Amino acid sequence: MGIQITPSILNADLSRLADEVGRIPSADWVHVDVMDNHFVPNLTIGLPVFESLAKSTDLPIDAHLMIDEPDRWAPAYAEAGAGSVTFHAEAARAPVRLARELRSKGARASMALKPATPVEPYADMLGELDMLLVMTVEPGFGGQRFLDLCLPKIRRARELISAAGLEVWLQVDGGISLETIERCAEAGADVFVAGSAVYSAEDPDAMVQRLREAAGS
Ligand code: DX5
Ligand code: ZN
């Protein structure tokens, strides 16, 4: 798998979700941010809206769950049709069991790390994952400034994945734009979430293509 661009709809017009997703046909995935006002100080959409959105698009859905108790809630997103489900390491009680459950329900299993969460403690479980998400802002809001301090972690994560001979995708999320995507790609990321960069562009699909080129594919 090469470079993949997964626009986040957090900064889209949420009253016209299906139309907004229709504006990014070149995207590889649609990134849907689920927030519960507990794990992060913001509230977005939950399962009913997610289910409707999944039915309204042919693009695969990349669900990013910024919620407490993902062990309890995440499997339902796989059942609702998410192609990939990301839970946070900081919130999961049994990340290995949860990753296996997500895979058993047919979704790709993915785990996210907040900026201050190190990757090393999870080195031995990378084989349980299809994707690792290194957050490049504190999760909770779109439009934040990219944190350069996350770059060494992206590099270390890529080294751990390569050393183990795994095919785990390495995703970055937060502040990804034409200014920052290149250094993430250089550090080893291959899946790029971009929210405000895509939806504040006059032509969101053209921006998806420009981001893909900037990332080097
Ligand atoms: C932030 C979300 C992101 C957000 C990215 O917590 O997880 O997916 O939408 O938005 P930008 O690209 O504007 O930082
Ligand atoms: Zn996200």
* C-beta 70 within 6 A of ligand 1: no
The pLDDT of residue 107 is 98
Q: From the CA of 42, how far away is ligand 1's center (Å)?
A: 12
Instruction: Collect all residues with Cβ–Cβ distance below 8 Å to 17 and sequence separation of at least 6.
Output: 9, 49, 52, 53, 56
Instruction: Collect all residues with Cβ–Cβ distance below 8 Å to 163 and sequence separation of at least 6.
Output: none
The pLDDT of residue 104 is 98
Q: Tens digit of pLDDT for each residue in 41-89?
A: 999 999 999 999 999 999 999 999 999 999 999 999 999 999 999 999 9
* C-beta 175 within 6 A of ligand 1: yes
User: Could you tell me where the beta strands, DSSP code E, fall in 19-60?
Assistant: 30-35
With beta carbons less than 8 A apart as the criterion, state whether 28 and 8 touch. Answer: no
Query: For ligand 1, what atom is nearest to the CA of residue 177?
Result: 12
- Region 181-188: mean pLDDT is 98
* C-beta 11 within 6 A of ligand 1: yes
Sign of the torsion formed by the C-alpha atoms of 90, 161, 215 and 85? negative
Q: From the CA of 32, how far away is ligand 1's center (Å)?
A: 10
Instruction: Give which of 208, 140, 156 is closest to 177, Cα–Cα.
Output: 208
With beta carbons less than 8 A apart as the criterion, state whether 83 and 107 touch. Answer: yes
User: What ligand is nearest to the CA atom of residue 136?
Assistant: 1
Q: Tens digit of pLDDT for each residue in 104-123?
A: 999 999 999 999 999 999 99
The pLDDT of residue 1 is 78
Q: Tens digit of pLDDT for each residue in 132-151?
A: 999 999 999 999 999 999 99
pLDDT over 90 at 217, yes or no: no
Q: Tens digit of pLDDT for each residue in 10-44?
A: 999 999 999 999 999 999 999 999 999 999 999 99
With beta carbons less than 8 A apart as the criterion, state whether 39 and 68 touch. Answer: yes
The strand order across the sheet containing 108-113 reads: 4-7, 191-194, 169-173, 131-135, 108-113, 84-88, 61-66, 30-35
- Using alpha carbons, list the distances in angstroms from residue 139 to 32, 65, 113, 135, 136: 13, 10, 10, 7, 8
List 171's β-bridge partners, or say none: 133, 191
Q: From the CA of 128, how far away is ligand 1's center (Å)?
A: 25
* C-beta 33 within 6 A of ligand 1: yes
Q: From the CA of 9, how far away is ligand 1's center (Å)?
A: 9
User: What ligand is nearest to the CA atom of residue 195?
Assistant: 1
End-to-end CA distance of the chain: 11
* C-beta 195 within 6 A of ligand 1: yes
The pLDDT of residue 16 is 95
Candidate of 6, 17, 24, 33 to mutate for ligand 1, largest count of ligand atoms within 8 Å of Cβ: 33
Apex CA 200: angle with CA 210 and CA 202, to 5°? 65
Residues marked active site are found at 33, 173
With beta carbons less than 8 A apart as the criterion, state whether 133 and 96 touch. Answer: no
